[in-house]
Amino acid sequence: MTKQRTLKQSFSLEGKGLHTGINGRITFNPAPDNHGYKIRRTDLDGQPIINALAENVISTDRGTVLAKNGAQVGTVEHALAALYASEIDNCLIDIDAPEFPILDGSSTLFVRKIKEVGATIQQTDRVYVSFPRKKIKVVDELTGASMLLLPDDHFNIESNISFDSMLLKRQSAKLDDLSDFTKNFASSRTFVFVKEVEYLLRNNLIKGGDLDNAIIIYDKLMPQEELDQLADRMSVKRKDASKLGYMMNKPLLYANEPARHKLLDIIGDIALVGYFIKGKIVANCPGHRINNTFARAIRKQLNVSTEADMNIQQVKPSHFYWNCP
């Protein structure tokens, strides 16, 4: 039997939140057996703790936001993906801000620190979630987005994304085993289209966004003056509006980096199931909203299914996610 694992020692990172722009310090601490992932807001009275579970998600608008005990914390998915993919079962996360730091827009710095401090093998056996004779499926009929969990003897993901964009139409990414995450997925960055940046800026949704922590896709020509205004509002270098392409300081790491990042997000959101999963996930047009609906469906199924039940359960999100065609 595989034993649970926690960190050998604590480590900290500092940085600004992507949406709030607020600087914060995040510390990952060892935790006892059967603790799971918990987040403690050290800047609030009483230092309230939020259990990192799917039913505690209150928002999925461009990131996953958890809330409990009068506190909330956002953009948790990249850090949770790093913990889950590093097979850390138990961790207490301290954060002194309303949002996890975005860092470089990926999971790579979180993974690096986890590898540096190492893991401690604990006494209790790890509990795996598996449904050997069942499929679990969630569907958004408005967009065609879907998430499917199939029986398998280990955790793996196949993810497909699609956009109405000449630069980013259809991409796929596949993770065969969690051990592939560090090398092939952890460094994949979050992304956004230029046409969405104005809305996000106007609504104060990316106060911490810049060309170092996101892939910015310029796929539709706009007047030079408008592009200059956006660049000035983001405090970044102006770009030539006649040239379509990717606008960030570091070039693409992979031709399908956006698809890889969406797969990274799936892992971070699936970590909110609270257990490691044995099964194959097939995702079409994934996003935080349908990811969370999927995680909730899995948690619900833990208590209501029998191994002989082969029915496909469909749970329909009430809204569609922004990136689906």
Give the count of domains, the chain.
Answer: 2
**Confidence at residue 199, expressed as pLDDT on a 0 to 100 scale:** 82
Domain end residue (candidates: 205, 226, 246): 246
* CATH number for the domain harbouring residue 107: 3.30.230.20
Residue 134 resides in a domain: no
Choosing from 19, 78, 261, 288, the catalytic residue is 288
**Confidence at residue 201, expressed as pLDDT on a 0 to 100 scale:** 83
- For every residue of 184-239, DSSP letters joined together read HTTTPPPEEEHHHHHHHHHTT--TT--TTS-EEEE-S---HHHHHHHHHHTT----
Asked if residue 10 and residue 100 are part of one domain, the reply reads: yes
Residue 167's pLDDT band, with cuts at 50, 70 and 90, is: very high
Residue 137 resides in a domain: no
* Strand-strand pairing, 23-30 and 11-16: antiparallel
Asked if residue 120 and residue 9 are part of one domain, the reply reads: yes
Residue 280 resides in a domain: no
Residue 205's pLDDT band, with cuts at 50, 70 and 90, is: confident
Asked if residue 103 and residue 29 are part of one domain, the reply reads: yes
Q: What one-character DSSP code corresponds to residue 10?
A: -
Residue 49's pLDDT band, with cuts at 50, 70 and 90, is: very high
**Confidence at residue 160, expressed as pLDDT on a 0 to 100 scale:** 97
* Strand-strand pairing, 23-30 and 135-140: unpaired
Q: Encoding tokens for residue 94?
A: 């301290």
Q: Which residue has the tokens 């085993």?
A: 177
Residue 314 resides in a domain: no
Domain end residue (candidates: 81, 97, 125): 125
The whole-model pTM stands at 0.92
Asked if residue 119 and residue 195 are part of one domain, the reply reads: no
Residue 149 resides in a domain: no
**Confidence at residue 316, expressed as pLDDT on a 0 to 100 scale:** 37
Residue 318 resides in a domain: no
Average confidence (pLDDT) over 162-183: 95
Residue 58 resides in a domain: yes
pLDDT for 231 beyond 50: yes
Residue 115 resides in a domain: yes
Active site residue 19: no
Domain end residue (candidates: 125, 151, 168): 125
Domain that holds residue 215: 191-246
Average confidence (pLDDT) over 224-250: 89
